Amino acid sequence: MRTILFSVIIALAVFAQAEEAPKSPPTVAVIDGEPIYKVLEPGAIPAIENPTFVTGEAADGQMKPGEPVMGVVIKGEAHAYSLWQLDAHEIVKQMPGKALVWGVAQGPHAAALTNETVGASKVASFSLGEVPAIALQGADGGVRAFVARAGGHTLNLIFTEDGVLKDAATSSVWDPTTGIALEGKLAGTQLEELPVTRVYWFAWSSFYPNTLVVD
C-alpha cells in the first residue's frame, strides 16, 4: 500500500513539474540560424522623450554618490545618464541644445524638425494636437509649413519624381511656396500657412517644453 501511494505521489509531482515548465516565447524570426523571440509588445519599454537636465550641482542632491552613469559628449555638450533610469527606459531621445531646428507652433501645440527630417523627401507630415500639418523644404533650403487639410480632406502631400507637389486624396497639384492648389479638384484653394521659426533647440524646447520632435 505504501509503495503504491509513494508511486502516485511521484507521478503527481512529475505531472505538476511538466505543467509548470515555462513555455518558450513565440519565435518571430530566425537570423543566422538563431531564433529571435518576442518577449514584450512594441512600446512596452517607453523611451524618455525630450528629456530635461539639471546641472551637476543640482544632480548631487538627487543622485547617490555611487550611482552609475553613462557620459556622452555631443557637439561639445556633456550629459550624464543614470544607468538605473536607462534600465527602465533603455532609450533617450535627445537633441543637442545647440542644434538648429525648424520650429512650428499653433496655440499650445508645437513641433520641431531638423534639416535631416525634412531634407530626405523635402516634405514631413506631423500633427499639432488634432491639426494635421505638413512642412515643405524649398529649393533655397528654407522650410514652410501648412495645415494639411482642405475641402474636407486630410491631405497626404508628396513630391513626385519630377518635383511636382501632389496630394493623394484629390490628385491636386500644389504650389509649395504659397500653398495654393494649381490644378485638380481643389484648384484655387489655399492652405492655411503656419509660422516657422529657425531657432536653437535649447531655446525652442525651453519655450515649448512639450514640443513634438518630428523624426
> Could you give the number of structural domains in the chain?
2
In this structure, the answer to whether residues 75 and 106 fall within a common structural domain is: no
In a domain, 52, yes or no: yes
pLDDT tens-place string over residues 34-84 = 777 776 676 676 666 656 666 676 677 777 777 787 676 655 566 676 666
- Residue 8: the pLDDT is 42
At residue 4, the pLDDT reads 45
**Domain containing residue 119:** 100-213
Based on the fold, state whether residues 85 and 110 are members of the same structural domain: no
Please state, in angstroms and rounded to a whole number, the distance separating the CA atoms of residues 135 and 145. 4
Cα(174)–Cα(164) distance, integer angstroms: 8
Residues 89 and 158 in one domain: no
Tell me the pLDDT band of 161, cut-offs 50, 70 and 90: confident
Q: Per DSSP, which regions of 59-172 are E strands?
A: 69-74, 77-82, 92-93, 100-106, 109-113, 123-128, 131-137, 143-147, 149-150, 153-154, 157-159, 165-167
- What pLDDT, in 10s, does the model give residues 130-156? 999 999 988 778 899 999 999 888 999
Residue 113 pLDDT greater than 60, yes or no = yes
The model scores a pTM over 0.75: no
Give residue 201's pLDDT.
Answer: 84
Residues 6+ apart with CB under 8 A from 113: 101, 102, 104, 124, 126, 135, 143, 214
Q: Say how far apart CA 114 and CA 98 lie, in whole Å.
A: 12
More confident residue, 27 or 92: 27
Q: Give the distance, in angstroms, between the CA of residue 184 and the centroid of all CA atoms in the same chain.
A: 34
What's the CATH number where 131 sits? Answer: 2.102.10.10
Residues 86, 112 within the same domain = no
Assess if residue 182 is contained within a domain.
Answer: yes
Element (H, E) at 199: strand 196-200
